[in-house]
């Protein structure tokens, strides 16, 4: 049910209209299950895709032509894809009408940004005050090995057996595995109310379309609000092997946890993977200790090759989270007392100039260094999989990163390791670096 003014915004393809955005997101949803993570190629392949919004007095009807065939079975759209399509419609209209143009939020203000994140999640009916803390946010790469994928399923299975729900970035790989495993664990415990929450944003949705397990999909306005939604919802975080996007998420989380204002905040973080992935976490640990400082690793735990131990540890720590939330009168469903520094809230516009201008040196406060490192990884994610970033690389060549020689050496080693391990693209794809280290 949409108002006439909401329909006007949705129909409009010009300035201030959201029809082009809705069309791109809808095509990504209909392309779920694809083995291609290049957004530009997707939009070129389906240039004749049509999504017409038909106005009725009671609301709208969608008329779709030339959509990916995999979204249909015997001429009928798969029910889960139809639900995800509705979620996209709900969120892009709400964000355009209530967040961006409603006048209620000053998105240059830190408090209003957090309020906007809350309103988007509440409108999507993700927040439920009746549910006790049990939501584990799982991060990890969409381009991982089969052994790593199977491991994420085993961890999710152990979560499901213990009544934990799962929230991920909703795509393939380490975002799908924990959900798939949790469904089996929930089924064995006859838990019919398992939550599989997927958080995405328009810039990444084409490269990482929602997997079929997601039963609560939310489209956040941008990557920064998506990341804040993760940490506000989480009662615990598990990080699986990944690539540059996972490194970005870890740095975002560290920047928040290392802020002195969050010293009393309890948010368990476990880095885990199969035995053959131990080297990946060694790389991450060495980079963080050398670039940020040894104390940064004190807020992280590493568990290798033991899914049951990960689940048991998370259950124990989530119980402590519940006790801490009760003692501080904080919400179970949305962590209001967590301080998210303003530097982590404002969108980073990825351009060649902004990437070259990042302050990548140690002569600045620790949290600012972490914020700039995160932006560097965010830019590489854009160049790898986002339509706008790919187009910029094709037009002007690789992004350039410069800074302290030692810091640049550490960054170069980490990124080269990701490339060598095939962590930049889906398996079978040839990776052409979208960045260049300048010293």
Q: Which conformational region is residue 76 in: left (phi greater than 0), alpha (psi within -120 to 50 degrees), or beta?
A: beta
Question: pLDDT by residue (tens digit) across 59-83?
Answer: 788 999 999 999 999 999 999 999 9
Q: Report whether pLDDT(39) > 80.
A: no
- E strand or H helix that includes residue 157: helix 146-161
Residue 384: C-alpha distances to residues 47, 105, 362, 388 (Å): 21, 32, 27, 10
Q: Report whether pLDDT(155) > 70.
A: yes
DSSP 138: E
pLDDT-derived band at 129, boundaries 50, 70, 90: confident
Most confident of 34-48, 287-301, 390-404: 390-404
Task: Supply the mean pLDDT for the chain.
Answer: 90
CB atoms within 10 A of CB 183: 20
Domain annotation for the chain: domains and CATH numbers: 4-97 (3.30.1850.10), 131-342 (3.40.50.450), 343-438 (no CATH)
Distance of CA 221 to the CA centre of its chain: 12
Strands (E), 362-429: 399-402
Question: Could you give phi then psi for residue 32, rounded to 5 degrees?
Answer: -55, 140
Question: pLDDT by residue (tens digit) across 162-218?
Answer: 999 999 999 888 999 999 999 999 999 999 999 999 999 988 887 788 999 999 999
Q: Indicate the Cα dihedral angle 159, 132, 141, 155, nearest 10°.
A: -10
């Amino acid at each position: 049910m949409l108002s006439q003014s909401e329909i006007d915004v949705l129909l409009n393809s010009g300035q201030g209209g959201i029809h082009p955005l809705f069309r791109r997101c809808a095509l990504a949803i209909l392309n779920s299950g694809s083995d291609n993570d290049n957004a530009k190629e997707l939009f070129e392949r389906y240039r004749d895709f049509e999504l017409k919004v038909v106005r009725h007095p009671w609301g709208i009807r969608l008329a779709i032509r030339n959509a990916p065939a995999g979204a249909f079975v015997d001429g009928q759209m798969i029910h889960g894809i139809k639900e995800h399509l509705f979620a996209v419609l709900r969120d892009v209209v709400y964000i355009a009408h209530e967040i961006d143009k409603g006048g209620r939020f000053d998105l240059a203000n830190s408090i209003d940004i957090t309020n906007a994140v809350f309103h988007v999640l509440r409108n999507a009916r993700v927040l439920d005050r009746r549910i006790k803390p049990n939501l584990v946010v799982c991060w990890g790469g969409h381009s991982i090995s089969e052994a790593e994928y199977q491991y994420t399923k085993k961890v999710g299975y152990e979560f499901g057996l213990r009544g934990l729900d799962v929230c991920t970035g909703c795509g393939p790989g380490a975002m799908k595995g924990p959900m798939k495993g949790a469904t089996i664990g929930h089924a064995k415990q006859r838990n019919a109310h398992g939550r599989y929450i997927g958080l995405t944003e328009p810039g990444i949705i084409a490269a990482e379309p929602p997997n079929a397990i997601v039963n609560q999909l939310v489209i956040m306005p941008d990557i920064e609000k998506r990341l804040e939604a993760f940490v506000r919802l989480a009662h615990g975080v598990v990080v699986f092997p990944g690539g540059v996007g996972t490194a970005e998420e870890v740095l975002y989380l560290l920047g928040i946890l290392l802020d002195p204002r969050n010293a009393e905040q309890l948010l368990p973080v476990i880095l885990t993977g199969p035995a053959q992935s131990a080297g990946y976490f060694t790389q991450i640990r060495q980079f963080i200790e050398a670039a940020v400082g040894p104390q940064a690793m004190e807020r992280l735990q590493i568990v290798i090759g033991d899914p049951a131990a990960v689940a048991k540890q998370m259950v124990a720590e989530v119980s402590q989270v519940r006790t801490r939330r009760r003692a501080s009168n904080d919400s179970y469903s949305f962590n209001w007392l967590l301080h998210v520094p303003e530097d982590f809230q404002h969108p980073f516009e990825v351009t060649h100039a902004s990437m070259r201008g990042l302050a990548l040196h140690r002569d600045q406060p620790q949290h600012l260094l972490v914020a700039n490192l995160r932006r560097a990884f965010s830019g590489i994610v854009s160049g790898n999989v986002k339509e706008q970033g790919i187009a910029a690389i094709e037009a002007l060549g690789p992004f350039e990163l410069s800074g302290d020689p030692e810091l640049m050496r550490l960054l170069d080693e980490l990124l080269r390791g990701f490339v060598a391990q095939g962590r930049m693209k889906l398996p079978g794809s040839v990776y052409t670096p979208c960045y260049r280290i300048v010293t």
